Structure 1
Amino acid sequence: MSSPTLRVAVIDDWQSVAEDAADWSPLSSFAQVDFLPDYPAPTSVLAERLQPYDVICAMRERTRFDRLLLSRLPRLKLLSTSGMRNAAIDLPAAAQSGICVCGTESGQFAAAELTWALIMALTRNLAAEAADVRAGGWQIGLGDGLHGKTLGILGLGKIGQKIAGYGRAFGMRLMAWSPNLTEELAARHGVEYVSRQALFRRADIISVHLVLSERSRGIIDAASLALLKPTAYFVNTSRGPLVDEDALLTLLRERRIAGAALDVFDTEPLPAGHPFRTLDNVLATPHIGYVTREDFQRFYGQMVENILAWHAGRPMRVIAP
């Protein structure tokens, strides 16, 4: 029996769940699959770690595949990512190196569900109350209700629309803004279209659902954040670099807003000594918006399909530069 001819690396598997999330056995006749739970590292370390592999399965935007790293992976021929968009992959550089980049379908509900869980936990102070009960205490403060409050949605795409539906179910007033949003589109989803300034000035809760691009990087700047009411809450489950992190930290340290719930950060994993880990008016989670059993089964199952299709000469779900 001949040995497998291809080597496959499943990286970014921080929770060590990939092996059980899908059936990898269909690859066993031609490929050796290695599961690597390591965090991202400098380019030199990544190049040494990944050089032996012909195929890499990556989780979206955990490891950066820029031109330099791709040039140091001469064996790489297939890069399969979760989702059909990965800003961490230099697609033109991959194409120039003859690397096929394929994606997977994305979940429709997980990120929106986590967003609403964070809104509920933040406004009702659930983390601190639960910790106090564990420590032997009982009731340490007052939470804020949602009914009748104003929810400001930054980005009314698929996730933002779901958030609008949740807010409507809780009896909230809804408003939205994004660079491409129109009054007609907002009205179609039962949401008031407002200017960016009005949204930050009037909202009791801001929830961010914008796509990160060079155009949107830093779009939530110090001037916008300064408009927030002292009683307002800020929630970001989209991407950290959309926000001026230093400006947000200043607001939170000076208690110029009620609090923030953050699932995404400029640097991930969040550095050990970062203030977001310790500020008592911040509820921080480790970018788990898409980390559900159902989504991971879909991601890794379709990565197996991608490898089989590519090996058969019929690549599927190809992401073009």
Structure 2
Amino acid sequence: MQQSSIIKIGMTREFFDVGAQIWDREIFDAIAADPRVEITPLASGESGVTAADLAAHDILVVRKTGVPQAAFEGDGPLRTRLICRFGVGYDHIALADCTKRGIAVTITPDGVRRPVASSIVALVMALSHRVLEKNALIRAGEWGAGRVLLGMGLEGRVLASVGFGNIAREAFRLLAPFGMRMMACDPRPDMAVAEGLGVEIADFGTVLSQADFLTVNCPLSPATRHIIDAGALARMKPTAYLINTARGALVSQEALVAALAERRIAGAGLDVFEVEPTGAGNPLFAYDTVIAAPHSLCWTDECATLTSRGVRDAITAWLDGKPLPNLVNPDVLRAA
């Protein structure tokens, strides 16, 4: 969208934290070099984007900092017309309010597809080989106990996903050489893609009961919150592992702790938690069959570069008046 005045781009402060570079500097330096734009840190903190931020900037770039409904209270003019989410999930952005006020929201799926899928692979491998448990034993001098701790071979085991989007599909592609049987449930599955990948589409209950490794790969919404609850966990095999790299609230932590305590599942690989950040006293950490990471397992140089590239492409498209890539609220086009 060609403009006669400088376009103000506000980036949330998390992008500027010392020692925590989470974006590709070369890519963003190239954006900043565009004579049409000016990039500045937002004054708002982790509490979220404010009405003042929306009134002062044409474009916002956000990561974990939310865009709450409170930012839209009042009837003052809003300058912002584009919010670029540095990542994929946008449950922390008041999307309906953005659409109502004419603000387009984009995400960067190409940036996280392979890195998150690789994280799932890493957790499958670590859980199946019981890496964390064996690491703890050898550090405690228990060489013999570690030698006889039996892992799980992957040939013929069932890798199942709740959700069949980009990340789940990439995980299936990466794990296909291990000879696993692959299953998924999804309300709107692409059957042609499933057939090409050799993935069986089944109902939720079948996926739960058949999985040896159950991965959660669906968006968080009121309908999916606690989709893995006590009832779902009760339908899993006692030898099965749960893997969640999507959103913490998709899994009931209370139900998961109970299932682990009663040995109704074998263990879990978790990169996300219901409450983040989670503290050292989280009851899940009492189990050596739980592998945990602070919502950052996918965070590699590859992820930083690809996600930055996705933000750059959205900003460039907006500046040039071209269709926005990965727009999540297309109704904004009709509202404009």
If the TM-score is normalised by the length of the shorter chain, which range does it land in? Answer: 0.7 to 0.9
Answer yes or no: is 1:115 the counterpart of 2:120. yes
Question: Judging changes above 3 Å, is the alpha-carbon distance between structure 1 residues 269 and 49 closer, same or farther for their aligned structure 2 residues?
Answer: farther
Q: Please give the alpha-carbon distance, in whole angstroms, between the structure 2 residues aligned to 1:281 and 1:49.
A: 46
Match of 2:133 among 128, 131, 140: 128
- 1:205-216 aligned at under 5 Å gives the runs 205-216=213-224
Question: Judging changes above 3 Å, is the alpha-carbon distance between structure 1 residues 175 and 300 closer, same or farther for their aligned structure 2 residues?
Answer: closer
Answer yes or no: is 1:263 the counterpart of 2:271. yes
State the number of aligned residues: 312
Q: Please give the alpha-carbon distance, in whole angstroms, between the structure 2 residues aligned to 1:109 and 1:266.
A: 24
The aligned amino acid for 2:132 is A
Q: Please give the alpha-carbon distance, in whole angstroms, between the structure 2 residues aligned to 1:84 and 1:111.
A: 11
Structure 1 gaps, min length 5: none
What is the CA-CA distance between 1:117 and the residue it aligns to? Answer: 0.6
Report the 3-state secondary structure (helix = DSSP H, G, I; strand = E; otherwise coil) of the residue aligned with 2:184: strand
What is the CA-CA distance between 1:280 and the residue it aligns to? Answer: 2.1
2:44–2:50 Cα contact (<8 Å) kept: no
- 1:10-29 aligned at under 5 Å gives the runs 10-13=12-15, 15-18=20-23, 20=25, 22-24=27-29, 26-27=31-32
Report the 3-state secondary structure (helix = DSSP H, G, I; strand = E; otherwise coil) of the residue aligned with 1:106: helix
2:42–2:53 Cα contact (<8 Å) kept: no
Q: Which has the higher helix share?
A: 2
Match of 1:282 among 286, 290, 299: 290
What is the CA-CA distance between 1:80 and the residue it aligns to? Answer: 1.7
- With normalisation by structure 2, the TM-score equals 0.76
- 1:47-58 aligned at under 5 Å gives the runs 47=50, 54=57, 55-58=59-62
Q: Which runs of 4+ in 1 moved over 6 A?
A: 35-38, 72-75, 182-185, 312-315
Q: Please give the alpha-carbon distance, in whole angstroms, between the structure 2 residues aligned to 1:104 and 1:204.
A: 30
Match of 2:69 among 67, 70, 73: 67
Question: Judging changes above 3 Å, is the alpha-carbon distance between structure 1 residues 36 and 234 closer, same or farther for their aligned structure 2 residues?
Answer: farther
- Identical-pair percentage: 31
Match of 2:110 among 106, 116, 128: 106
Answer yes or no: is 1:145 the counterpart of 2:153. yes
The aligned amino acid for 1:63 is T
What is the CA-CA distance between 1:224 and the residue it aligns to? Answer: 1.8
Is 28-37 or 250-259 further displaced after alignment?
A: 28-37
Match of 1:180 among 164, 184, 188: 188
The aligned amino acid for 2:295 is H
The aligned amino acid for 1:142 is L
The aligned amino acid for 1:263 is D
Structure 2 gaps, min length 5: 1-5, 332-336
1:105–1:298 Cα contact (<8 Å) kept: no
Q: Please give the alpha-carbon distance, in whole angstroms, between the structure 2 residues aligned to 1:142 and 1:122.
A: 11
